[in-house]
Structures are given as structure tokens and as C-alpha cells.
């Protein structure tokens, strides 16, 4: 070392106490930075969860409203007549006089009421997309259309938190 370095050592001698305090300052600095990064990460993850939940709610509400519109459209027309097939069999629970008709040209037709149409549409969706959605009856009238008990309890827990409670209820086939 040069003369200037020696003068410096003599003017500022290094003590064990200064080394210890530097270690504590470094440790405190590292701890503060770590806490800041962890806090920032927690805030980002929380915001991400809220955003994902908001998107899921928006999609569920849009899907629900679409179902309501289709059901309303069907209901306003008194049901819709379709040819009975394996995919659209006559509704065994629909007890109305003109459920099954034969046209003047000999075609057979069966009446689809809104709930049955929605149920068959959801079965078609489930088969084509591998997504599942179920509508749950709070007071079922027809045993084959009851929801799974787990869905009934889940609906009672979730429904108060939705922005708008459903005004109708239906059930899909058990999945």
C-alpha cells in the first residue's frame, strides 16, 4: 500500500464492532428487500386470483343469461315441436294433451318445453365439449330431474354471493 492507504488505516482503524454493525446492516437490507419482493408477489397473486374469479363469474353469468333467453324464447311460443329421435325423445314427464302430433303429411312431432329443451341442450354440450354444468332444483317435482345432493348444497352456499340470483331453476342429467 501507498502512503495514502497507511494514513487512512491509521485515521480509521477497523474495529470488530464496525464489522458486526456492517453485517447487521447488510442482513437488515437483505431482509427488507426479501420482504418487499414477497409482499409484491403476494399482492400480484391475490390480484390474479381476484381477476380469474371475476372472469369465471362473468362467464357463468353470461352462460346463465343465455340459457334464460333460450328458455324464454321457447316459453313464449308455448314450446317447440320437433321430430322425435333418439337424441330428442318425447318428454315422458310432460303431461299435456297435444304433446305428440302427426302432421297432415304424416310426420310425427313431439313438444319440447323449455326445461326439457335446456336439459337436452346441456347433454349435447357435455358430450361435445367435456365441460360440465348442472342446474339444481331446490324442490324437485320429477325424480329423474333432481340434481346431485352435492350440487344442491353447493348452490345454497354460492347463490347469495352472485350479483343476481337466478329466477328459474332446472337440472341436467347426472354427470
| pLDDT on residue 93 | 85
Q: What sign does the CA torsion over 140, 146, 152, 155 have?
A: negative
Does some domain include residue 11? no
d(CA 37, CA 138): 47
Give exposure, 31-52, as e/b (b: 16+ Cβ within 10 Å): eeeeeeeeeeeeeeeeeeeeee
Helix (H, G, I), strand (E, B) or coil at 175: coil
Does some domain include residue 27? no
User: pLDDT by residue for the chain (175 residues), tens digit each?
Assistant: 556 655 555 555 566 666 777 788 888 999 999 999 999 999 999 999 889 888 998 998 988 888 889 889 988 988 889 999 988 889 888 888 888 999 999 999 999 988 888 888 888 888 776 555 555 545 444 544 455 555 555 555 555 555 444 444 444 444 3
Does some domain include residue 169? no
Report field, pTM of the whole predicted structure over 0.85: no
Does some domain include residue 89? yes
| pLDDT on residue 96 | 86
| pLDDT on residue 37 | 95
| pLDDT on residue 6 | 59
Does some domain include residue 87? yes
**Residue 84: which residues within 8 A CB-CB, separation 6 or more?**
90, 100, 108, 109, 110
User: What would you report as the CA-atom Rg of the chain, rounded to the nearest whole angstrom?
Assistant: 34
Does some domain include residue 99? yes
Does some domain include residue 111? yes
Domain count within the chain? 1
d(CA 55, CA 62): 10
Lateral strand order in the sheet of 100-102: 80-82, 108-112, 100-102
Amino acid at each position: 500500500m501507498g502512503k495514502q492507504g497507511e494514513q487512512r488505516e491509521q485515521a480509521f482503524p477497523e474495529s470488530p464492532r464496525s464489522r458486526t454493525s456492517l453485517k447487521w446492516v447488510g442482513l437488515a437490507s437483505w431482509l427488507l428487500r426479501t420482504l418487499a419482493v414477497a409482499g409484491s408477489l403476494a399482492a400480484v397473486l391475490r390480484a390474479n386470483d381476484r381477476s380469474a374469479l371475476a372472469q369465471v363469474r362473468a362467464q357463468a353469468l353470461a352462460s346463465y343469461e343465455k340459457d334464460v333467453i333460450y328458455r324464454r324464447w321457447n316459453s313464449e311460443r308455448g314450446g317447440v315441436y320437433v321430430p322425435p329421435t333418439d337424441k330428442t325423445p318425447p318428454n315422458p314427464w310432460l303431461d299435456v294433451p297435444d304433446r305428440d302430433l302427426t302432421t297432415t303429411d304424416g310426420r310425427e312431432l313431439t313438444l319440447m318445453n323449455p326445461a326439457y329443451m335446456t336439459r337436452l341442450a346441456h347433454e349435447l354440450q357435455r358430450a361435445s365439449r367435456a365441460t360440465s354444468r348442472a342446474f339444481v332444483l331446490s324442490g324437485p317435482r320429477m325424480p329423474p330431474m333432481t340434481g346431485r345432493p352435492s350440487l344442491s348444497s353447493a348452490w345454497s352456499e354460492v347463490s347469495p354471493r352472485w350479483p343476481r340470483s337466478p329466477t328459474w331453476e332446472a337440472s341436467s342429467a347426472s354427470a
